[in-house]
Structure 1
Amino acid sequence: MPAPTISVVSPTRASAGNTVAITGSGFTGATAVKFGSTNAAFTVVSDVRINATVPAGSGTLLITVDNPSGTSNGKAFTYSGTPGARISAISPASGPSSGGNVVTIVGSGFTGVTAVKFGNVNATSYNVVGPTVINNVVVPPGVPGTALVTVVTAAGPGGGYAYDYVGAPTSTTTLTDVPDPSVVGESVTFTATVAPVPPNVGTPTGTVTFNFGDGSPSVVVPLSGGVASTTHAYSTTSGSPFTVTAVYSGDSNFSASVGSGTHAVNAAATSTALVDSPDPSVVGQSVSFTATVSAVSPGSGTPTGSVVFDFGDGNVSAAVPLSGGVANISHTYTTTSGSPFTVTATYGGSAGFSGSVGTGT
C-alpha cells in the first residue's frame, strides 16, 4: 500500500462544518484527514475520493491524508473570512529542497507586502510587480515535502498555496537556544549544528543564516566543525514566543537545510531608586524627588512608562513619564505633622519591564 497522494481539494475556502471533497489516490484504508494538525471527520468514498468535514479553526493551512504507509502531500485550504492576500497559483509549484530556484506567485491583495514565506522561512528575495503578481521569488531551502506558501501583509498571512520541495536532503540543521526563556535585554546564545544525513559522512561547511523572528537583521555565521553560534538580545516581549530559523547554505557535498524553533521572552525585572533634595526641608520649601528605574541583570535596556509618587502626607502625584529611565517631580510640605514622611515611587511597568517600588523618608 503506497502513501496517499492528493491532487485536488474543493473548495479551497470554506467554513467549519462544510464538506470538502479531496481527490487523489491511495485513499483506501485512510486513517486520518488533517487540517493542519487538527483531525477532521471524513468518509472514504473510493480509493480516489474522500469527503471531509471542515473542523473548527481559522487562517490558512495544509490538508493531508494519512494511511498506514505514511502521509500524503499537502494541499492548501483557507477558512472563510480570513483576511489578507490570497495566492491562486505558484509557477512552478515545486522545486529542489536546496532552494535557490525562482518562482512567480499570482493572486490578489499583494499590497504592502512585508514577507513571502515558505512555511516559517522567508523567501530569499522577491519583487512585487503589482497587487496580483509577485515575481522573481527566490525559494529558500526546505525539506522534502509540502510547504505552505503565504504572502504576509498588514492583514496577516492571508490565503496560502502548496509548494512541494523534492529531492532527498543530505544534511539536517538542529537549532538550540540558551537560556530559554530569556528576559528583555538578556543575551541569548543560538547554536546551529549541521550534520550529514546517514549514510552520508563528513563535516558540512558553508554558512548559517539566523533569523530571530523579531524584525531585526538576519546574521550570517560561517560553520566551524559543523557548528555556528551567535548571540542576540530581544528588546521587547511583543511577539513572544518568536519563531527563530537557522538556514544552512549547503556546500558542494551537502544540501541546504533549515532548523527552526521558538524562543520566549519575558519582561525584565526592575529596581526603582528614590532620592530627594533637600533632605531635610522646611515647611513651604520645594523638594525635588527623583526616581531612577533600572533593569535588573540579566535584563538590560532603558525602562519606559511612568512613575506615581506618594509623598506620605496625603498627596499622590499623577503618573510622571520616564525619560531615559528617570522621573522627576517637586513637592512642598505644608506641615511637620507626620514627619518624617514615608515617600514611595511606584513604577507601573511596561511591555518589556516589570514594575517596582522605591521608598524613602
Structure 2
Amino acid sequence: MPISPNQGSTAGGTTVTITGVNLGGATAVHFGSKLATITANTPTSVTVISPSGAGVVPVTVTTGGGTSNPLNFFYIGAPFKTGLSDSSGPLAGGNTITINGTALSTATSVSFGANSATPTVVNDGQLTVTVPAGAAEGSVGVSVTTAGGTNNGLTYTYVDTPTIISVAPTSGPTSGGTSVTITGTDLSTTESVTFGGTPAPFGVISDTVVTAVTPPGAAGPVDVVVTTNGGSATAADGFSYAAGPGI
C-alpha cells in the first residue's frame, strides 16, 4: 500500500494519496492518533489532507472490512534561513549564491520576489541557487519552499549595470598618484576601479560618485573600468598618462 508523498509539513495541509486494494468506502484515515480529511475515495485509492503532526507517524486506512497495515509518514518542519552568501547582484541575474539555514534538504523552489528558481541541495543546512533576472532594480524578499512549508525573512537587492558619465581630471603623470573623481550611476556597490587594467585604490562617495588614485602607467590613453555588483562600466581612453619633461 504505497503513500505519496510520504512527507509533509508539520502544520498539516499536505494532499496525500494512499493506494492499495479494497479501499472503497473508507471511513477513517489516521496519521498517528489524528484523523485526516478524506477528499476522494475509490476501491484502489484514498486521497486525504494530512493533519498537523511531528516526527514519523503510522498511517492506516479503516473500511468496513477492518484497518490496513500501517505506512510511515514523515513530518518536516518549516525551513529556516540564516543568511545569503551575497545579498546583491546584477539585475540580469545569472549569478550563483549560497543559502544557509536548517531543514533545507527537501527544498524545491527559491523565490526572489515574484521570480523563482530551482535550487541545488548541498545538505540539510545549505542550498545553492542561480539567481533569476529581476523585474526592476531594488530589494526583494527571498523565500525557500520545502516539503515543510515556505519561509521568508531575507532580502536580496538587484543592482542595475553601472554607467560612467565623466572622469576628472582626464590626465596625469605616468608615476601615478593623481586623485580622480568618477561620476556616473549605480556606483554604490563598486568592487574595483582599474586604469588600463591595473587596479587602483578607490572610495565610494555615493551612488553617483567614486574617487580613485591612479596607479603608475605607461604614457598614453587607457580605459577606466568600474566594476560593481551589477556589472562593469568602461570609459574608453578615459584617462591619459603624460610622460614627464626631459632635457
Which band: TM-score by shorter chain?
0.3 to 0.5
TM-score (norm 2): 0.40
Report which of the two has the higher share of strand: 2
TM-score, with length taken from structure 1? 0.29
Point out which structure has higher relative CO (alpha carbons under 8 A, 6+ apart).
2
Q: Which has the larger radius of gyration?
A: 2
